[in-house]
Amino acid sequence: MTDHHIGLIVPSSNLTMETELPRMLNARESIAPDDRFVFHTSRMRMKHVTPEELRDMNAQTERAALELADARPDVVATACLVAIMAQGPGHHCVAEADITSALRAEGSRAPVVSSAGALLGGVEAVGARRVAIITPYMKELTAKVVDYIEDAGIEVVDALSLEVPDNLAVARLDPADLRDHWRRLNLSGADALVLSACVQMPSLASIQPVEDEAGLPVLSAATSTAFRILTELGLPPVVPGAGSLLGGRLPSPAGSGAGTTDGSGAGGTGPIHLGTGR
């Protein structure tokens, strides 16, 4: 049995990442009990999702990374998608590199994941090139998210802004409402649906039901972050009931160490089989 220590950098007002990520990985333990997950969090002050507060929060990243370095986590995830995307296309590479540098200075070798980069990777992993998205942001910030995604070569065919500026209020949104919100999107030509382009807006309970109804892959910033964390840990990125991204039927990400997905040793697109032995 192995404990995997996960460091999280989150906004001070974030209530959801420390809820949905443990729920996903605890659910994974039900099918792979030899892998357990322990969480350690460092917080950065932010109450309102405005460009000014996001910039101020980003300035606290090094301090948060140094605090986590002391715990010697196995992987570190920075979990505020819009704080990174609002800084301009490709900024997740800069943010991940800055956190990596701070960790290395303290002797930590943990790989670094960002929810922004993870979402792009999640879209790629399900084979999508055209997506529709739902965000809790004001339209100005949603436009920045759309620009960021499209700069990465992914077309956003439609976007819905729920326009909730208070970050605590975002965390209190009912994820069941997303089962109606997605119907307001034009999904013509979409290859996938991002049900929550935000790690603060709860969506986990609706991922699988909406995917079943919409008939196309449904993912979120949180499920994408879980996918990337598991990949960085060298574990099969499988979580029951969390959509096709974590359904175990995708080709293994290159270099994940998770093996093949069809049990044949030759890649493929069959299910990942999780053993309970080491």
Which active-site residues does the annotation give? Answer: 80, 198
Reduced DSSP (H G I as helix, E B as strand, rest coil) percent helix, strand, coil of the chain, to 5: 40, 20, 40
**152 burial class (0-12, 13-18, 19+ CB within 10 angstroms)?**
middle
Q: Which two tokens stand for residue 248?
A: 């175990």
Rounded CA separation 259/58 (Å): 36
Angle at 207 between CA 202 and CA 211, to 5 degrees: 155
Rounded CA separation 232/9 (Å): 17
Spell out a b/e string for 106-132, using b for 16 or more CB atoms within 10 Å of the CB, else e. Answer: eebebbbbbbbbbbbbbbebbebebbb
**183 burial class (0-12, 13-18, 19+ CB within 10 angstroms)?**
exposed
